[in-house]
Amino acid sequence: MDKIKIRGGNQLNGKIHISGAKNAALPLIAASLLTSEPVTLSNMPILSDITSLNNLLLELGTKIEQKEEQKKGHTSETYTYQTRNFTSLVAPYDFVRKMRASYYVLGPVLARTGHVELSLPGGCAIGARPMDIHLNSLEQMGAQIEIKNGYVVADAKKGLKGAHIIFPKASVGATCNILMAATLAKGATIIENAAQEPEIGDLIDLLVKMGAKIEGKNTSVLKIEGVSKLNGAEHTILPDRIEAGSYAIAAAITKGKIELEGAIADHLKAPLNILRAMDIKITEKENSIIVDARNADLQGQDIMTDYYPGFPTDLQAQFMALMTVAGGASMVTENIWENRFMHVPELMRMGANINVHGHASAIVRGVKKLSAAPVMATDLRASFALVLAGLIADGETIVNRVYHLDRGYEKLEEKLKAVGADIERIKEPD
């Protein structure tokens, strides 16, 4: 298994190009299953989670074409998906266990064919991750659902029908799944308490290009008028706000200055406000964000994760890494996932002073320095938090289990090296 070696202490300065958003790309790929015509997605990030979902689509009968494009000095991938006919309606355990967002095939395949079997993904390191909202909503749309041998078996022989659905929680995954299913249902579907993350707006944009009738983008009430058929479309995936936020923190923690090329400041309001409150200069440009922490006197801030537009849970671990070296105390409260503090013991092994209270809050008291250590994390964002700590720690930090990072950070070492980090990947056989 590969490792990442970081020698801490370098101030990071320069430009980082922000890739296409993983959490937008995944539902957009699944949306291609709603039509027999080609769907072309550009600005696709090269990540193992994308490969995993592509492999599942190949299993279902999708033809995938890939093209590399050179744009403004960086390469970008364009994928065309076409599912004329399904060769299988089963998403097997082996695919779903590798990547839980495989559950995005549920809504589209059921809506188009009237049948789907999806292995239940089970819990993961950050929480139990139930699918009850997805399944209850599909039942309200007339689907018959059974759990058999670890699989969700869903039938809607006469097609799905529109329904008025009120989500108990603003789930991102359920919003995407039900939105996709509703595009081909008979009649109108209303989703109340829908999630409003920018990735959902991106999915709505693609679905509308495919001929779907959707109202309420960027609001918590979505109205979808079902159509009998969708067509192919072309779409550019939006930039990854979590990747941008992660590199903003890399600038902050190393007291450097980084321009995040392509990042959209509007999608990062809550985290950028915290950085500003920490004495960091943020300049919002039309097509980039400049984070300048060269003269910052970093002072701790409280953060509380919430549904968008609240503070994103996917940046909680990275902010906690920053708080470990900020003056005073910071309170970090995790409201979305019940087990998302696994980075804490590893940060403490590097000298951080953190007290976890229950499973939802932690007090971080700033220390003067962190020191390098071999560390490992159990999820993607926690792994990036350890990279951040390694960037400022005295000595050489080894981050193990790099496969977590490969799921969500495209060309991580390349991007950090280009702004001055002393970082390298150590290739090791699995």
Choice between 174 and 298, CB closer to ligand EPZ: 174
Which structure tokens are listed for 394?
A: 């005295």
Cα–Cα distance, 246 to 253 (Å, whole number): 11
Q: Which is nearer to ligand EPZ, 79 or 409 (CB)?
A: 409
- Kindly state whether residue 395 participates in binding ligand EPZ, applying the rule CB under 6 A: no
Q: How far is the CB of 377 from ligand EPZ (least distance, A)?
A: 12
Contact call for residue 314 and ligand EPZ (CB under 6 A)? yes
Whether residue 124 lies in the annotated active site? yes
Binding mask 334-373 for ligand EPZ (x = CB under 6 A): --xx------------------------------------
Instruction: Report CA-CA distances (Å) from 38 to 26, 84, 194, 349, 364.
Output: 16, 9, 28, 50, 50
Q: Residue 387 Cβ, how far from ligand EPZ at the closest point, in Å?
A: 14
Nearer to ligand EPZ, 117 or 240 (CB): 240
Is position 267 an interface residue for ligand EPZ (rule: CB under 6 A)? no
In the complex, what is the shortest distance from the CB of residue 48 to ligand EPZ, in angstroms, rounded to a whole number?
13
Binding mask 173-212 for ligand EPZ (x = CB under 6 A): xx--------------------x-----------------
Which range, of 73-81, 127-135, 256-264, 290-298, touches ligand EPZ by CB under 6 A?
Answer: 127-135
Q: Give a three-class secondary structure readout of the chain.
A: CCEEEEECCCCCEEEEECCECHHHHHHHHHHHHHCCCCEEEEEECCCHHHHHHHHHHHHHCCEEEEEEEEECCEEEEEEEEECCCCCCCEECHHHHHHCHHHHHHHHHHHHHHCEEEEECCCCECCECCCCHHHHHHHHHCCCEEEEECCEEEEECCCCCECCEEECCCCCHHHHHHHHHHHHCCECEEEEECCCCCHHHHHHHHHHHHCCCEEECCCCCEEEEECCCCCCCEEEECCECHHHHHHHHHHHHHCCCEEEEECCCHHHHHHHHHHHHHCCCEEEEECCEEEEECCCCCCECCCEEECCCCCECHHHHHHHHHHHCCCECEEEEECCCCCCCCCHHHHHHHCCCEEEEECCCEEEEECCCCCECCEEECCCHHHHHHHHHHHHHCECEEEEECCHHHHHHCCCHHHHHHHCCCEEEEECCCC
Query: How far is the C-alpha of 344 from the C-alpha of 349, rounded, in Å?
Result: 9
Question: CB of 130: closest distance to ligand EPZ in angstroms?
Answer: 4
> Measured from the CB atom, is 129 or 217 closer to ligand EPZ?
129
Is residue 115 part of the contact set for ligand EPZ (CB under 6 A)?
no
Q: Does 134 bind ligand EPZ (CB under 6 A)?
A: yes
Q: Does 8 bind ligand EPZ (CB under 6 A)?
A: no
Q: What is the nearest approach in angstroms of ligand EPZ to the Cβ of residue 216?
A: 18
Q: Does 172 bind ligand EPZ (CB under 6 A)?
A: yes
Q: Which residue is nearest to ligand EPZ (CB)?
A: 173
98 binding ligand EPZ? (CB under 6 A): no
Q: Is 32 in the site for ligand EPZ (CB under 6 A)?
A: no
| Structure tokens given for 416 | 């950090």
CB of 20 to ligand EPZ, least distance (A): 13
Name the nearest CA neighbour of 313 among 156, 147, 193, 171: 171
26 is an interface residue for ligand EPZ by CB under 6 A: yes
Q: At its nearest, how many Å lie between ligand EPZ and the CB of residue 24?
A: 8
Q: Which of 61, 127, 211, 216 binds ligand EPZ (CB under 6 A)?
A: 127
Q: Is 132 a residue that touches ligand EPZ (CB under 6 A)?
A: yes
Select the span of 122-130, 149-157, 202-210, 397-405 touching ligand EPZ (CB under 6 A). Answer: 122-130
- Among candidate residues 46, 58, 64, 124, the one labeled active-site is 124
Q: Contact positions toward ligand EPZ, by CB under 6 A?
A: 23, 26, 101, 127, 129-134, 169, 171-174, 195, 313-314, 336-337, 380-381, 408
| Enzyme catalytic residues | 124
